[in-house]
Every structure is written in structure tokens, then in C-alpha cells.
Amino acid sequence: MERKHLWTVLLLLAMACFVLPASSDNLFRIGLKKHRLDVNSMNAARVARLQDRYGKHVNGIEKKSGDSDLDIVPLKNYLDAQYYGEIGVGSPPQKFKVIFDTGSSNLWVPSSRCYFSIACWFHSKYKASKSSTYSGNGESCSIRYGTGSISGYFSQDNVKVGNLVVKDQVFIEATREPSITFIIAKFDGILGLGFQEISVGNVTPVWYNMVGQGLVKVPVFSFWFNRDANAKEGGELVFGGVDSKHFKGNHTYVPLTQKGYWQFNMGDFLIGNASTGYCAGGCAAIVDSGTSLLAGPTTIVTQINHAIGAEGVVSMECKTIVSQYGEMIWDLLVSGVRPDQVCSQAGLCYLDGAQHVSSNIRTVVEGETEGSSVGEAPLCTACEMAVVWMQNQLKQKGTKERVLEYVDQLCSKLPSPMGESVIDCNSISSMPNISFTIKDKAFVLTPEQYILKTGEGVAAICVSGFAALDVPPPRGPLWILGDVFMGPYHTVFDYGKSQVGFAEAV
């Protein structure tokens, strides 16, 4: 069996994991540590990975750090791109470093029977024979990711998360990890915190069993990511509520619109103080702790990268559209042709009945095929982006010549195939803020927050925190709010009330 995930570009950060001892407040914290970014590792370890809950201030949810009914797991931070902590599987517990991933729902760790994958040589392996609580299952399974897959079989054992012991948890013993991603990763496996709807094999997730076995009094967990590059502590994952010392003010909660991922409706998206117009009518968004960057529609990511001066791959198809079809697109828009029909009338896309179809934009959600922003019909994709850009400029009453010049500049800022874009570190102070509107409130990201920087002086490298991902309607347009967003904003996942909440992190 196979489960396809949404993935965004994830810069893997090499981290060392530690677990803080249980304190008098009986909270279990998974601590995160940060490591300086290794350029060679960054280039070798881009993991494509994309895998939704709250509303106002919730009575009974906000807990003090001294409350005894919270289980706090300290997290480690690898280059602001990978947060993981320690769990134990079996009796006695065999220790593993795992990504706590709200974008997936299965737990998997390497198996002692993983003989032929190099990645298993570098990570801890589960030995069923060493556990007195092991129970066999043996059903084969696999999970496919953007840059590789893992496969193995189901087993059952106790799983210790912080001070909590989840009994009889079904998990995957991975016997094959063919991707280079897993070779250089600092984590051993993944513990999914998504919904059972996206669980491979319909396995009951660890979090469900925590709630079902009465291990937490309040069906809520929350993340705090420490983005201070010099801090020893990387962050915390709290089960059973929130730790009030990691945020200020009240959380803004928004209800989930779909279960599977932690998905909700997001409002307008602004570059500086200017609306892009793309999400003015609303966009779907997913909060994903297992994704390092912010992923969104190529059309908007390109505009962001243009605004901040990020250099991506130059798309010749895009420039061809501007030079050969730009005036035609302009004339069709001015004449009142519906934007979703312009490219078909220009002969660059086709109509499937009454619905416009772009063959190169596909979704990887709910079992559909994987897609990319540049694919089977590049001229169609480029035309679609040009229409959005031109339509927005038309609203601002730009002249045809200036609009075509602007679109040509955007073409030069298209992200590279893996979605990453590099910027000049010296220009960070002059970059605009980027804002997401959630429940009519603006959540602002400053340049210092959405740019990943490593090194100093001439050795400094700065990477845009925005990556391209195109998911068409009705599922999309879709934003994946990864660690770049969860760093500045403490995030609460309310399983009981089907909502997710955000407050300024401290």
C-alpha cells in the first residue's frame, strides 16, 4: 500500500537530539538543538515534503507550565529546518529520534531487518526480539515521499513519548529506505500527528491512542519552535495543552475545513502592504510541522521572490509567453474574456468540456499523481501565471508596456525545479514583510523570519523561505505553513474542537 504526501522543500539541518529530565512540573519536553547550516548538506539533502485546527481563546486549554497534566517533549532544531525529539519503542524502550509531523499520520522507524539500505546503517534500528511487549503483524506497506519512499511491514509494541506510554501501538518497521535523504537525515523515523483519514493501512495514529487510552486530559497538543540560532534549546512539543511561557496574547483560532491534514481557510496574502489578489476570496492552508519552508502557488511565490530579489531558474517558456503571446493575452483580458478562458482562447491550453484544464498542474493529495510547477504543458502553465499577473496589474491601471515588462521580470524569478531560491544576504534589511490573513487578522513575517541564513561575511548563504507548490481547484490553491511560519507563531492543534490556533511566540 502506498500513501502520497504533500511535500515542500525541506532543508535538512543536522541536529543532535537530547531529552530533558522529567521536572517537578511533570511536563515532558522534547528539546531541539540547532546546528550551523552545512552548505554541502543543504545541497545534498533537499527533502520534498508536504503533508489544520482552532478558533478563539478556548477555555480549559491554556495551561500553566507547572500543570501536572501536560506531557512536554523537548525538541531539537537542525538549521531552522528540521525539528525532532526522542521516543522509545518496546520494553525496555529502544530510543529513536523522530520528526513529529502534523502532515502525516503513521509512525515508522528503521527495522533490524533493514539489510540493503545504506540509510539503515547510520540510524538506530528496532529489534523486535529485544522487546517483551512486541506483537507481530507482518502486513507489508510503503509510504512514498517526494524524493523517495520507505517500505516495510506493520508491527505492534508499546511506544513511549515523553512520560507517556502508549500501549499496543501499530507502527511500521522500515526495511527499505532508498533515498539519500534518509542517509544524511539526523532523524531515524517519523511520528505522524495528522488524522487517521490519511494513515497508511488505516492504522490508528499514536495521538489517537494517547487520547483513547486516557493519557492526556485535554485532547490538545502544541508546538513551540525556537528560531534563535544561538539557543541551546530548540523547542517544545506539549501534549495535553500548552505551555503559557512560550507565547504572548491570545491565540487566534480557526476551524478545520477538512480532516486528514490540519487544514483551514486562509484569507488574503500581502507583499508589503499590497494584496496579491490571489487569495482575496480565500485559500486552503495546511499547518505542517514536518515541512521546513512555506509552500504556495508558483504564481505567488514568483511574485514574492521578485519582491525580495531571490534568484530562481529562468523559465524560457515563461519569457516566450511574454514575447510571443503577451500582447494577445493583454488584449483578451482588456476585451473582457474571463481569465480562466484566456489561455485556451490563445491556443495554449485546452478546455475539457466547460472546464479549463492545465495538464501540467496536478495534485498529490488524496492519491492523485504528483505534480510540479513546470511540467507536461509548460506554455499553458506560463500562460496561466501571466494571466494572474496581468490581471492584478490591470486592476492597478498599469500600461501594457509596463505590465509586460513586469511579467518578464517575474519570469526570471521563477523558482528552481526543487523550489528553492537564493538571495543576497546584504539586502535582507530592505525586503518587505510578508503577511498571511487568518480570521481577518494579519500574521506578519519579517525578512529575518522568512529567510534562512547560515554563515557570516562572504561565507554567508541566504535562502528564501518560500517554495512553489501548485494544487488546482477544488483542493487548491493551497498553502503549506511549515516551520518558517510555526517559528514566529506558537501553534496549537485542538483535536477535540477541530481547530488550530496561532499566537506570537516568545
Query: Cα(364)–Cα(198) distance, rounded to whole angstroms?
Result: 12
Going by C-alpha positions, the residue among 384, 371, 379 that lies closest to residue 417 is 371
Out of 52, 71, 101, 243, which one is annotated catalytic? Answer: 101
Q: How far apart are CA 501 and CA 466, in angstroms?
A: 22
The CA distance from 341 to 357, in Å, is: 10
Return all residues near 383 (Cβ < 8 A) that are at least 6 apart: 321, 325, 329, 342, 343, 346, 348, 349
Phi, psi of 209 (to 5 degrees): -70, -30
List, in order, residues 6 or more apart from 270 with CB less than 8 Å away: 276, 434, 435, 437, 442
Q: Are 91 and 280 in contact (CB under 8 A)?
A: no
CB 438 within 8 A of CB 252: yes
Asked if 288 is an active-site residue, the reply is yes
d(C-alpha 52, C-alpha 244), whole Å: 21
Quick check: is 424 catalytic? no
CA dist., res. 357 & res. 383, Å (int): 12
Q: How far apart are CA 289 and CA 487, in angstroms?
A: 10
User: Three-state DSSP class for 403?
Assistant: helix
Helix (H) or strand (E) holding 378: helix 378-395
* Ramachandran assignment for 432, one of left (phi > 0), alpha (psi -120 to 50 degrees), beta (any other): beta
State the Cα–Cα distance between residues 108 and 359, nearest whole angstrom: 34
Catalytically annotated residue among 67, 288, 470, 494: 288
Closest CA to 171 of 126, 215, 115: 126
**Is there a contact between 51 and 261 (Cβ–Cβ < 8 Å)?**
yes
Tell me the C-alpha distance between 120 and 106, whole Å. 19
Can you tell me which residue has the cell 518496546?
A: 90
SS3 content of the chain, % helix, strand, coil (to 5): 25, 35, 45
Catalytic positions, please? 101, 288
